[in-house]
Amino acid sequence: MRPMPDLNTAESAVVAGEIRYSDGWVTGWHSHPRGQLLYASKGVMIVNSRAGSWVVPPNRALWFPAGLEHEVRMSGEVHMRTAYIDEARVEGVPATACVLRVSALMRELIVAATSAQLDYAEGSRGDLILRLLVQELRQSHVLPLHLPVPEDERIQRICKALIEDTANADTALQWAHRVGVAPKTVHRLFQKETGMGFAQWREQARLLLALRKLASGERIIDIAFDCGYASQSAFTAMFRRRFGVPPSAFFG
């Protein structure tokens, strides 16, 4: 296993490395001078930034633009592989952070990329692998695994409470009374601050919690109740609507 590359010495536009983390490990807040493609073949990564949070399950990847401060928390033993891309020299990569679907080809390219020399020659095997990896990155499908964080303190208060108790079923009207605004203001601020409506944001918070619990091997029926659903079938219907597969098949 090759350790993470030293970005201060690598001259190549794209470099890759790998590392393993134990369950519960937290990287601490940091940023990179290059864009980062973050992928784990095993374990779940919970990534936090000032812009929001992402849950990255196995066989999905997270793209982070250069300079975005973040921390990564490991759920289960994590086998991480990552590629660092100089956005000044590589065009067409995503402009914002996002979770991506990893195709079978992209997965094999990420694995192969970690064995390439840091300063590979143009036209070499490593060069060709990393060029194709970038092309796959450009074409990857974005997945809805982002939970945006609002800046308005009133909406922050609501979001914090919903994250702490995802089974909470209180209406926007009830939350409006608690934070001292009109219900229309709650809906307007959620849309303005997060790009989602109140109900959509709460469902997204529940979905990301569900992914973490699924990765830990918890029973689907228990996850459904913890996330505020009246039945396993209601939870499964929501999950299938968002991902196209039932919870039991997601990590497969």
Domain ranges of the chain: 14-143, 150-250
Alpha helices in the chain (DSSP H): 104-113, 125-139, 153-164, 172-179, 183-194, 198-215, 220-226, 232-243, 247-250
Q: What is the per-residue pLDDT for 51?
A: 80
DSSP assigned state of 78: E
φ and ψ of 122, to 5 deg: -60, 130
pLDDT in single tens digits along all 252 residues of the chain: 556 777 667 788 999 999 999 988 999 999 999 999 999 988 889 999 888 888 888 878 999 999 999 999 998 889 999 999 999 999 999 988 999 989 999 999 999 998 888 788 889 999 999 999 999 999 998 887 888 889 999 999 999 999 999 999 999 999 999 999 999 999 999 999 999 999 999 999 998 889 888 877 889 999 999 999 999 999 999 999 888 889 988 876
The whole-number pLDDT of residue 252 equals 60
User: What is the structure's pLDDT at 216?
Assistant: 77
Task: Give the count of alpha carbons within 13 A of 46, CB side only.
Answer: 18
Q: What is the per-residue pLDDT for 52?
A: 85
pTM above 0.85, yes or no: no
- For domain 14-143, give the fold: Jelly Rolls (2.60.120)
Instruction: Enter the CATH code of domain 150-250.
Output: 1.10.10.60
Question: What is residue 208's predicted lDDT score, i.e. its pLDDT?
Answer: 87
Angle between helices 232-243 and 198-215 in degrees, nearest 10:
100
**The tokens of 190 are what?**
């959620």
Looking at residue 3, its pLDDT comes to 63
